Amino acid sequence: LAGANSNIASNGQVKQKIAVMTSGGDSPGMNAAVRAVVRTGIYYGCDMYAVYEGYKGLLEGGDLLKPISWKDVRGFLSEGGTLIGTARCMEFKERWGRKQAAKNLIERGINALVVCGGDGSLTGADLFRHEWPSLVKELVEQDQSFTPEQVEPYKNLTIVGLVGSIDNDMSGTDSTIGAYSALERIVEMVDYIDATAKSHSRAFVVEVMGRHCGWLALMAGIATGADYIFIPERPPKKDQWQAELKEVCQRHREKGRRNNTVIVAEGAIDDELNPITSEDVKKVLVEIGLDTRVTILGHVQRGGTAVAHDRWLATLQGVDAVKAVLENTPSTPSPLIGINENKIIRMPLVESVKLTKSVAENIENKHFDKAIALRDSEFIDSYDNFIATTVQDDGSQLAPEGERLNIAIVHVGAPTAALNASTRSAVLYCLTRGHKPYGISNGFSGLINDGEVKEMKWLDVENWHNLGGSEIGTNRVLPSEDLGSVAYQFQKNKFDGCIIIGGFEGFTALKELYDARKQYPIFNIPILLIPSTISNNVPGTEYSLGTDTCLNTLVNYTDSIKQSASATRRRVFVVEVQGGHSGYIASFSGLVSGAVSVYTPEKKIDLTDIQEDIALLKENFKHDNGETKSGKIVIRNEVASDVYTTQLVANIIEESSKGKFGVRTAIPGHVQQGGVPSSKDRIFASRFAVKCIKFIEEFNKKNTKAVKNVSAISSEDAHSLKFHYDKISGEKVFNVDTEDNSCCVICITGSHLTFKPIQEVWENETDLVLRKGENIHWEEMNKIGDIISGRLMLRREL
């Protein structure tokens, strides 16, 4: 009874003692969650405990349920799996087991539990909370383990859930901790397979995890440019899928493809619930003469270290889990921490778990539409987009003759990893609909100088899903360099819409074309920007293509240099990252690399900060008897200060260390802009591209009137129309209208994805001097980074 009652604060309230555990299947990012929970808890003055080996640790107690300190979670961020262990524990499913667990918690005075696991673990946790009062009663009255006074402060147990699952199967949240890491592993493996498959002209059937959830298979299908996928939520007809699969693969071969990829979720079934195995799929492909191999990826999908997305997701959710514990009251339903687009959310644990379980039930009862409807709306959209660009590229989805469009695609500014992937999806979707996609070579300069416009075909783009850089070429030149030539090319090629993919230059180009509408009515067509820049500085949005790939590169880079210090120990690296006047990459790379300090252009650098760094680093190395197995990271954005250069910061820190630790600089440079796109960037690239084409289709449908006789248009119609057809030549004639909302940026803000009109974003959200948005949406990351690095605690002490 050592711990019982010992934690009652002077005001009579129970001081929070929070235990954190991981349970069920492990997933990359669980360690980041544990680290964030432990350190945030300590920051808020709580006593923190770790439960080792999942619910087994709760039942057995002893060394499996013990205090965990700040230092104990050092190095957790870079490790895969779960370092506090996980297990399946049948005894916890029994009431006696849960009573034993309650006894162990009360003995230590623990009154809150943060559980990171799948739906099984979270169901168990919620059941435990509900039974808690009766378990406590039994422990007092029947077992006489405690006196009524001893249990008085433990009337309720607080439970907060974090979803750790590679399947991404929890209803209500866009991604679970580990899902993007598993997807990245799959995509990496399929990229490797692609190379050999192309060499031998083979077909590969790749089986991925997902018993009841097809998220991994679907997203892998999109990200790897697969020909066909099988997922449990959308089972194909029992005797028809074979013919369709053959047709699709053959068609793609006829179009010139040298290999085929089919992704099969392990829980794939037909509409009679018969399993569809990878061997079944192989047999069908062999029948059409394809040299077919099967690869079952298995546990490789769970393995490895967490990608950047999972590290920041787990960190932010871990921080919020502790806040949720502190804000909890006995009447608050147990919360589950999720994410909606870019916003961390809390949702009721019980309902989310119930909905998740009902997906499997609906599949078992053949209610497939209901099952897929329980996934988030993007899941359905992504599925439809995948089918539209692969299965339905057979001419069955062509737009009516009069609605087929000419759509231009142009890359502007510095290259980022997902330019090709987004162009590929835009082109494939255009072709499915019978539109003509045109690639403009080398940005607007291509258009101005030589009018390089190329109609793009299926084979031109089919393998662009994993190519970094820009195949059509990109350039910083803006349309204002020669608006007349740009307008001439738009007219000559009869563009009905244009997609610009780029960063702040792309944003500026969009505004220039919008402003030039009065002068050149030809620009009175939908022109959209897909933000794509590692700086993430396009105003109006919180997400740009390329940032995720860049963060993954920096995660690998910082992990490697941290490790390089493991032999010599006691080394600090000042890492200079790109981003221009936007501190996004600096702030996020700080969070995902576990940096002790981050210098952003928003905050600049002053001597006090550097002094604080030195104090923090000294503190880190002070009691260090060799536990610090890796180096420490300081992140500095490239323009964070004119005076305090990366080298100067390193020199000052080194000089003050008085030989206690060494300091080096590390500058990754352009490696941050290149490379193979991450799986997340690929799927967002595809999502944005298809949404943009649909937007252009919608606009044209609403605003086109195939009126050959202009005089027949009513004056009311004439006002609202964007263009009409000349009665003599039949040519499209543009009406002057600068007020419409057809020049937009596709934006993610908080939990919303919207098309924001350029004129509004330009006027209300743009910092023109510093070339970025006015809203520094990543500011919170610095505070969270400061909590977890210990900086805020140190500041409190000083």
Catalytic residue ranges: 167
Which value, to the nearest 10 degrees, does the dihedral of the CA atoms of residues 753, 754, 758, 764 take? -80
Let me know: does 446 contact 440? Beta carbons within 8 Å: yes
User: Closest separation between CB of residue 93 and ligand ATP, Å?
Assistant: 4
Helix (H) or strand (E) holding 342: none
Q: Tell whether residue 430 is among the known ligand binding residues.
A: no
Give the nearer residue to ligand ATP in terms of CB position, either 93 or 370: 93
Residue 476 annotated as binding site: yes
DSSP assignments along 121-138, one per residue: HHHHHHHHHHHHHHHHHH
Dihedral Cα 378, 780, 755, 719, nearest 10 deg: 150
Q: Which pairing describes strands 158-163 and 732-734: parallel, antiparallel, or unpaired?
A: unpaired
Smallest gap, in angstroms, from Cβ of residue 54 to ligand ATP?
Answer: 6
Query: C-alpha dihedral over 697, 698, 701, 703, to 10 degrees?
Result: -120
439 assigned ligand-binding residue: no
Closer to ligand ATP at the Cβ: 121 or 474? 121
Binding mask 44-83 for ligand ATP (x = CB under 6 A): -----------x----------------------------
Minimum distance from CB of 205 to ligand ATP (Å)?
Answer: 24
Residue type, 711: S
Q: Does 88 bind ligand ATP (CB under 6 A)?
A: yes
Structure tokens that stand for 785 in this block:
């980074």
Alpha helices in 271-394 (DSSP H): 278-287, 308-327, 349-364, 368-373, 377-389
118 is an annotated ligand-binding site residue? yes
For the CB of residue 296, give the shortest distance to ligand ATP in the complex, in Å.
Answer: 18
Backbone angles phi, psi at 389, to 5 degrees: -95, -5
Sheet of 343-348: strands edge to edge? 65-67, 47-51, 17-22, 112-117, 158-163, 335-340, 343-348
Buried b (16+ CB within 10 A) or exposed e, 44-58: eebbbbbbbbbbbbb
Nearer to ligand ATP, 24 or 221 (CB): 24
Which CB atom, from 27 or from 158, has the smaller least distance to ligand ATP? Answer: 27
Give the C-alpha separation, 73 to 314, whole Å: 14
Residue closer to ligand ATP, measured from CB, 165 or 673: 165
- Tell whether residue 292 is among the known ligand binding residues: no
CA distances from 598 to 32, 266, 570 (A): 18, 42, 19
State the minimum distance, in angstroms, from the CB of residue 131 to ligand ATP.
Answer: 10
Nearest residue (CB) to ligand ATP, 165 versus 524: 165
Q: How many CB atoms lie within 10 A of CB 489?
A: 21
Smallest gap from Cβ 670 to ligand ATP, in A, equals 39
Query: Which residue, among 181, 258, 261, 252, has the nearest Cα to 225 in the 3D structure?
Result: 261
Rg (the chain; Cα; Å): 28
Annotated binding-site residue? 167 = yes
CB nearer to ligand ATP: give 207 or 612.
Answer: 207
- To ligand ATP, the closest distance from the beta carbon of 119 in angstroms equals 5
Nearer CB in complex with ligand ATP: 124/773 = 124
Tell me the sheet residues that pair with 474. 411
> What's the closest the beta carbon of residue 30 comes to ligand ATP, in angstroms?
11
Q: Which stretch binds ligand ATP (CB under 6 A): 87-95, 150-158, 506-514, 559-567?
A: 87-95
Task: Indicate the helix (H) or strand (E) that contains 495.
Answer: none
To ligand ATP, the closest distance from the beta carbon of 228 in angstroms equals: 26
**Closer residue to ligand ATP (CB): 55 or 684:** 55
Q: Which of residues 620-649 bind ligand ATP (CB under 6 A)?
A: none
Mapping DSSP onto H, E and C, the string for 546-609 reads: CHHHHHHHHHHHHHHHHHHCCCCCCEEEEEEECCCCCCHHHHHHHHHHCCCEEECCCCCCCHHH
Within positions 89 to 148, which residues make up the interface with ligand ATP, using CB under 6 A? 89, 92-93, 117-121, 123-124, 127
φ/ψ region of 146 (left if φ > 0, alpha if ψ in -120 to 50, else beta) reads beta
300 labelled binding-site residue: yes
Q: Is 210 annotated as belonging to a binding site?
A: yes
Q: Tell me how far apart the alpha carbons of residues 297 and 190 are, in angstroms, rounded to a whole number.
A: 10
In angstroms, what is the minimal distance from the CB of 165 to ligand ATP? 5
568 marked as part of a ligand binding site: no
**498 annotated as ligand-binding:** no
Q: What are phi and psi of 115, to 5 degrees?
A: -110, 125
Helix (H) or strand (E) run with residue 219 in it: helix 215-224
- 375 annotated as a binding-site residue: no
Q: Compute how many residues bind ligand ATP; rule: CB under 6 A.
A: 17
Of residues 88 and 238, the one with the C-beta less far from ligand ATP: 88
242 in a labelled binding site:
no
Q: What sign has the CA pseudo-torsion 691, 693, 694, 696?
A: positive
Print the binding letters for residues 3-42 with ligand ATP: x by CB under 6 A, - otherwise: --------------------xxx-----------------
Q: How far is residue 199's CA from residue 189's CA, in Å, rounded to a whole number?
A: 16
Annotation: binding site = 25, 88-89, 118-121, 165-167, 202, 209-211, 266, 293, 299-302, 476, 533-537, 571, 578-580, 638, 664, 670-673, 771
Annotation: binding site for beta-D-fructose 2,6-bisphosphate = 476, 533-537, 571, 578-580, 638, 664, 670-673, 771
Annotation: binding site for substrate = 165-167, 202, 209-211, 266, 293, 299-302
Binding residues for ligand ATP (CB under 6 A): 23-25, 55, 88-89, 92-93, 117-121, 123-124, 127, 165
